[in-house]
């Protein structure tokens, strides 16, 4: 089993996300992460999907997704030539003593404290999924009040451009 990040260029209209998600559900494919965003072309949206499976399952996912009417292009992204990022917002209970410890961890991970009250603080961290996971592992020792984590967003490195052929 291996993870695969797919960049799917689709027609930008209502119901496209539901069709893609429905395809995964009907075929029994799991979605680990899903983000949708605008592109430079108002007629096209980018859906970034992180999924998992063996080689045969991943090939099937790519083929089935590519057959959807709304799908313009499916691009499997490789970790060695792509950038993957996520955003984490984390609210932690933090009295005066804990605050110093949390600030130290935030400094190491280059996280920003974006809200501070007497009883809690909210941290913002952007990075690759492994960095987010590592930060969360360190923060488990504290009382996490709330957490919101976006899905992966990704682009290939270099001059290559994902366009519709």
Mean pLDDT by 10 residues, the chain (165 residues): 93 93 90 92 94 91 94 94 96 94 96 96 96 97 96 86 64
- φ and ψ at residue 15, rounded to 5 degrees: 90, -10
pLDDT at 11: 95
For residue 90, give the CATH number of its domain: 3.30.70.1150
Establish if 23 belongs to a structural domain.
Answer: yes
Establish if 16 belongs to a structural domain.
Answer: yes
pLDDT at 16: 93
pTM of the model: 0.84
Which among 33, 55, 77 is the end of a domain?
77
Q: Are residues 121 and 70 in the same domain?
A: no
Containing structural domain, residue 146: 84-153
């Amino acid at each position: 089993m291996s993870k695969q990040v797919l960049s799917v260029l689709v027609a930008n209209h209502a119901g496209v996300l539901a069709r893609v998600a429905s395809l995964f559900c009907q075929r029994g494919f799991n979605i680990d992460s899903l983000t949708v965003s605008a592109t430079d072309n108002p007629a096209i949206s980018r859906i970034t999907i992180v999924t998992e499976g063996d080689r045969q399952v991943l090939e099937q996912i790519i083929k089935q997704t590519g057959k959807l009417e709304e799908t313009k292009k499916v691009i499997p992204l490789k970790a060695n030539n792509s950038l993957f990022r996520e955003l984490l917002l984390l609210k932690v209970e933090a009295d005066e003593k804990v605050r110093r410890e949390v600030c130290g961890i935030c400094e190491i991970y280059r996280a920003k404290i974006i809200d501070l009250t007497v009883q809690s603080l909210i941290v913002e961290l952007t990075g690759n999924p492994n960095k987010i996971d590592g930060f969360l592992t360190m923060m488990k020792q504290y009382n996490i009040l709330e957490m919101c984590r976006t899905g992966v967003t990704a682009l290939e490195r270099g001059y290559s451009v994902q366009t519709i052929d």
